[in-house]
Structures are given as C-alpha cells and as structure tokens.
Structure 1
Amino acid sequence: MTKPQTTHFGYKEVPVSEKANHVADVFHSVASRYDLMNDLMSLGVHRFWKWITIQQSGVRPGASVLDIAGGTGDLTAKFADLVGPQGKVVLADINASMLNVGRDRLIDRGKAGNIAYVQANAESLPFPDNYFDVITIAFGLRNVTDKDKALRSMFRVLRPGGQLMVLEFSKPAGWLAPIYDQYSFRVLPTLGKQFTGDAESYQYLAESIRMHPDQSTLKQMMQDAGFERSTYQNMSAGIVALHRGYKF
C-alpha cells in the first residue's frame, strides 16, 4: 500500500513530512501561557479530567511511568508523588519549548529527584522494549502525524501487564455538538488572541479536535496496535474521552 503524501493539519492538507513542524510552531507560540489557556478554555474542568486519569492509573510506589506529550508537567507532578523515590517518571514531549516550561515548573516545585525529561517523538519512542508500567498521553495524540505508528511504539515500550491511558478531546453527545461548535470556533480563537496574541493556534486546536478519531475508532486503533481489554470512558458528555488498554 502506498503511504499517503499529505495529512491533515487542522482542516488544511500539508505534506506528511511537514506536519510535525507545523504542530511545533503552534506549541512554541503558546507554551508560556499553556496552563492559563487550559483553565480559561475548560473553565478549569481539565483538572478534573486529569484527576480521573490519575485515579484510574493504578500507579504505585516504585512504578515507572511515561507521560507522553507531558507539556507543562501537571500529570508528571502527580505521578512523581505516587511512585515515590524508588520509582521514575519520564516527562516526554516532542516540543522543546513545552518541555522546558514543564521542567522549570517542576524544578521550581521541588520535584526533580525521580523525574527525567526527554524530547521525543511518540512515533519512535527512544526507550527499551517492555520498560514502563504505565503510559499516559493527555491531549497529545491528536497532534501526532501517524497515530497508528505512535500506538505501536507505546505498546512496544509498555511492560506486560502495563496500561496505556489516552486522554483526549473526542466527539460530544449529539445534543451538545452545535453548542460545542459555536464555542470552539468563536470563543476559543478569541481567547487565544486576547491572552496569547495568537488566534490561529486556537483555530487549529478546534479543527484538530474535529479531525481526531471518534471514541469507537480510537478504541479499534488501540486494539489493532496490540492492546487488549480496550475501553473508553466519556467525560463531560463526550467532549473528552479516556481510553485505556493493556498489554498482556
């Protein structure tokens, strides 16, 4: 089968080789105000979505955790507390600006001893086979160029018995969709322009959510990558879904 020469960047079609650079430009632009914008856009509810993810992770003292697209490190901070001094958390992000912001904030909070920082592409994770007990990717999979390849890469580095958790924007319930569309395409770019001076990045955010696979499709993609007992849990009427899968 011939590989596609283009892929979507929001609603635009761009060469496959260029998408990562386009996504990088978005996050270089918003890195310094990323947490502020998350609070504004979700009215703080993103913290609840992440709390649910952490509660269902089953992370224990001594565990090894990979937080892909970990950005400013809010999940990493919680996992670092859970694994304790005998455990390890790797904060990985393809974007150097996001990774630097996350590292600086975690160090400022005194969380350094059991955290490593790695600039990495989810499609080709630079870790040994069967290495991590838990892998999370929160609001990052939709930005990956080849999602199937990334899922296979995550499967490879996950230990047998380990769990992958994908927290991502998804497809909301039908009754909510028109309201959500109005909010996404009118309010988000306006907030982006007002607080970061960058409306285009938040236009991309809204578009990238619409191009992301729906709940059932992503569940099947995880199964095709090798994950078993794959499930998903809708939150906020499907605006966000938490997908979980295991390696046996």
Structure 2
Amino acid sequence: MYPSEGGFREALTMNDPGKTTHFGFRDVPEEEKAGLVHGVFSSVASKYDVMNDLMSAGVHRIWKDAMMDWLAPRPGQRLLDVAGGTGDVAFRFLKRAPGASAVVCDMTEGMLVAGRKRAEADSLSDHLDWVVGDAMALPFPSGAFDSYTISFGIRNVTRIADALSEAYRVLRPGGRLMVLEFSHIPNDLMQKAYDLYSFNVIPAMGQIVTGDRDSYQYLVESIRKFPDQEAFATLIRQAGFAQVKYRNLSMGIAALHSGWKI
C-alpha cells in the first residue's frame, strides 16, 4: 500500500514564494495554485462525470478510448493514472488488460470518493488502488509503473516540467507516458467558434448543473493558457522522454501526447 497524503503535502512546501503562475487568466503566487485547484475539483467532484458528458456531448469517452487504442494495454502491466479521480482511464485500462493493475492518484480526495462509488470500481477493486497525491511529488518509488497516464489534468499542475519529471521517475525503463489534454485548433476561424462556445456556454452550464460557475470559468481559461501541441511536445522531450509524438483529436480540440522512457 502506498502512502496517501505525504506527496501532496511535500509538494505544497516546494513552491518558490517569490514566483507566480497562472490560475486561469489570473496570476497567483505558486504556493496558492494547488489549493485553488483543489478547491475547484472539490466543488465539482460529485457532478464531474455528468459535466464531462454535457460539455463534450460524450466525445470525451471517444477520446479516452482513442488513448487506450494507442497505449495498447497488455496483461500484467501496472498503470499509474494521475489526476484520474473518477477512474475513467483506469477502468478502461483494466478492462483491456486481464491481470493488469492500476493506481488512481489525485490530489482531491472527493474525486477519488466519487470514483470509488462507480459500479466499475467494485468489479475491479482487486486490481485497483486509490491514492491521494500530487503530480509534482508522487508518493511512489522510482521505476514502479509500466504506464503513466494523465487526462485533462496536467494543465492544472503548478509546474508542468516537475510533473513530467516525476512521470519519468516513476516509470520503468521501457515505460510509456501518455497525456490526453485540451489543445489548440490550428484553424483560427474554428478556434474562435470554439472559444465562443467555451466562454459563453460552459460556465453557464456549470452554474446550472453544479451551482458553480467560477470553477468552470477557470477550467475554460486554463485550456487557453496551456501550451500548444508542439510546445508541449518539447516539454516532454526536455523531461527525458524519447520517441515523442502527438495526435490531434476532433481537429485539435484535444490532443494525445506519447513518450517513452528509453
């Protein structure tokens, strides 16, 4: 059994008090961002899956299936799914790879609680662990996993480079990183249309479904602050990964990034 709280607490003490980062379109001290993000996901945890279906018209499920198609889980492998609170990716991985095991790691306990309540969690419980921890200071030994996934979570990390370095550390040689994240549409006109939808519809939808407009306003803003496909691929290479590639999904609304620890 892995420790649960230690990595998160350690990460909160590692921030440079003189540095700032973005929280959506706001600049905030680095040491405040983790707490702010924690507040966002604590607020929406119980309706997180419902909102994902509504915001994407269910397309996020197709994206996650595409992630599994490219990852190609094999029997006996061990997965770490970071920021995977409600278990979507871990469940898919285990169903495709008999005898495999997975750890879902998330900094928000409420998300993990919501994940445990899902029907899939009961049928896969013998192969699945739930751990509270921070992506920048994972509470796991080096070389412990065959695969590392993070879906729609890395843009919320205070220092993306630190999270990628931790991903590299916990993977075994020959292990694979795969990131699913919202990205940038290469067509300016289509990007403008998507922005109109995102900024006008999603926060209003969040207010109706969860009673929390501000959290979904942040989530929309955080997408616009995330690096584009090429810039993010460069960050993955700088963390030490090889054979770094990406694939656009839905014309670039989201992208899959892959890298190997060689």
Whether TM exceeds 0.5 here: the answer is: yes
2:241 counterpart of 1:232:
no
Q: Output the TM-score relative to the length of structure 2.
A: 0.91
- Cα distance in 2 for residues equivalent to 1:223 and 1:245: 8
In structure 1, what is the Cα distance between the partners aligned to 2:78 and 2:244? 21
Determine the structure 1 residue equivalent to 2:65. Answer: 51
**How big is the shift at 1:79?**
1.3
Aligned to 1:91: 104
Tell me whether 1:81 sits opposite 2:95 in the alignment. Answer: yes
Residue aligning to 2:113 = 100
Give the ranges of 4+ consecutive aligned residues of structure 1 lying more than 4 Å apart after TM superposition.
106-109
Matches within 5 A, 1:88-237: 88-106=101-119, 109-173=122-186, 174-237=188-251
Where 2:80 maps in the other structure, the secondary structure is: strand
Work out the CA distance in 2 between the residues paired with 1:52 and 1:62. 21
RMSD over aligned CA atoms reads 1.4
TM superposition shift of 1:6: 1.1
Q: How many Å apart are 1:101 and its aligned residue?
A: 0.8
**Which residue number corresponds to residue 19 of structure 1?**
33
Tell me how far 1:3 sits from its aligned partner.
8.1
> Per-residue deviation at 1:104?
2.2
TM-score between the two structures when normalised by the length of structure 1: 0.96
- AA aligned to 1:180 is Y
| SS of 2:124 mapped into structure 1 | coil
Matched letter for residue 148 of structure 1 = A
Percentage identity across aligned positions?
A: 48
Instruction: Please say if residues 5 and 16 of structure 1, whose CA atoms lie closer than 8 Å, have aligned partners that are also in contact.
Output: yes
Q: Deviations over 1:99-145 (max 9, x none)?
A: 11112225654220100111110001111111111110000000000
Alpha-carbon shift at residue 81 of structure 1 (Å)? 2.0
- Residues 59 and 4 of structure 1: is their aligned pair in 2 closer, same or farther, counting only changes over 3 Å? farther
Distance (whole Å) between structure 2 residues aligned to residue 107 and residue 79 of structure 1: 12
Equivalents in 1 of 2:17, 2:240: separation in Å?
Answer: 21
- The superposition leaves residues 196-220 of structure 1 with CA deviations (integer Å, 9 ceiling, x where unpaired) of 1111111001100011111011100
Measure how far apart 1:5 and its partner are.
1.4
Runs of 5+ consecutive residues of structure 1 not aligned to the other structure: none
1:6 aligns with 2:20: yes
Q: Secondary structure at the match of 2:81?
A: strand
Partners of 1:77 and 1:106 within 8 A in 2: no
Distance 1:3 1:197, change over 3 A: closer
Q: Is the 8 A contact 1:106 1:112 kept in 2?
A: no
For the residues of structure 1 that align with 2:27 and 2:189, how far apart are their CA atoms? 30
Residues 50-104 of structure 1: CA deviation (Å, up to 9, x unaligned)? 000011112101000011111211111111223323x210011011110111122
Number of aligned residue pairs: give it.
Answer: 246
Letter in 1 for 2:199: F
Residues 17 and 31 of structure 2 are in contact (CA less than 8 Å); yes or no, is this contact kept in structure 1?
Answer: no
List runs of 5+ in structure 2 lacking aligned partners: 1-15
